[in-house]
Amino acid sequence: MQLAARIHDLSKEYHLGGETVRALRGVSLDVPEGDYVAIMGPSGSGKSTMLNLLGCLDRPSGGSYFLGPDDVARMSDDQLSEIRASRIGFVFQSYNLIQQLTVLENIEVPLYYQGRLDASDRRRCHELAALVGLSDRLQHRPAQLSGGQQQRAAIARSLVNDPRFILADEPTGNLDSVTTGEILSLLDKLNRDGKTIIMVTHENDVARHSRRIVRLRDGLLQSDERLREV
């Protein structure tokens, strides 16, 4: 099976006030295309550090990271920026929508960064808004939306460049139980449609939606439990 991502002996150190913090200490993980991985662990276990490395938002101190066939750890800053823009979709706990823009304009933002927004791109943005149930909210601004609607807009934005995989950082952390279920159903559908998803969560019920639960502790891989096959 083709791999969406592979990390081997990945490590990350931070130097803070004369101290060295080893956030990740030699983690190895293969993520097949179409997998759905929940990353769990207590505070300080390395979850956010791993997600930042997987999302090319930070560089590892050691080890290797392949995104498909490409050795991401050796790329330049410009190459990493291109990878983030074209091959990875991000969904954050705080939504990270631009308050001055409408829903449709927020969905279009990644296309602006790539210097493109033609008629076919606009059609895709409308299709994605329909996919997440926001066709009737296209001209609303984030402040006019519920938390669940804002997260739906963020998910649509994450899909606009047809990324290789989606990285979700506590995507239901600010939502009530009913809205959490709705967002998880949407992520489940995206995964069934072939999207690879890597999600950080501290909630067991949320993690059980995934196909696989990876647990970190003290920067080390503690367990890797397969729930469902890809």
Give me the pLDDT at residue 119, please: 87
Give me the pLDDT at residue 185, please: 94
Burial 93-124 (b: 16+ CB within 10 A, else e): bebebeeeebbbbbbbebbeeeeeeeeeeeeb
- Range with lowest mean pLDDT among 91-100, 112-121, 154-163: 112-121
Assigned superfamily of 35-56+87-226: P-loop containing nucleotide triphosphate hydrolases (3.40.50.300)
What pLDDT band is residue 140 in, cutting at 50, 70 and 90? Answer: very high
pLDDT tens-place string over residues 194-228: 999 999 999 999 999 999 999 999 999 999 999 99
pLDDT tens-place string over residues 95-112: 999 999 999 999 999 888
Alpha-carbon distance of 216 to 214, in angstroms, equals 7
Can you give the chain as a three-state secondary structure string?
A: CCEEEEEEEEEEEEEECCEEEEEEEEEEEEEECCCEEEEECCCCCCHHHHHHHHCCCCCCCEEEEEECCEEHHHCCHHHHHHHHHHHEEEEECCCCCCCCCCHHHHHHHHHHHCCCCCHHHHHHHHHHHHHCCCHHHCCCCHHHCCHHHHHHHHHHHHHCCCCCEEEEECCCCCCCHHHHHHHHHHHHHHHHCCCEEEEECCCHHHHCCCCEEEEEECCEEEEEEECCCC
Instruction: Indicate the pTM of the whole model.
Output: 0.93
pLDDT at 89 over 80: yes
Give me the pLDDT at residue 112, please: 82
166-175 average pLDDT score: 93
pLDDT at 53 over 90: yes
Residue 24 in contact with residue 53, Cβ under 8 Å? yes
Where do the structural domains in the chain lie, given as residue ranges? 35-56+87-226
**What percentage of the chain reaches a pLDDT higher than 90?**
80
Mean pLDDT, the chain, rounded, equals 93
What pLDDT band is residue 62 in, cutting at 50, 70 and 90? Answer: very high
What pLDDT band is residue 28 in, cutting at 50, 70 and 90? Answer: very high
Alpha-carbon distance of 211 to 159, in angstroms, equals 20
What pLDDT band is residue 116 in, cutting at 50, 70 and 90? Answer: confident
Give me the pLDDT at residue 182, please: 93
pLDDT at 117 over 80: no
Alpha-carbon distance of 114 to 161, in angstroms, equals 10
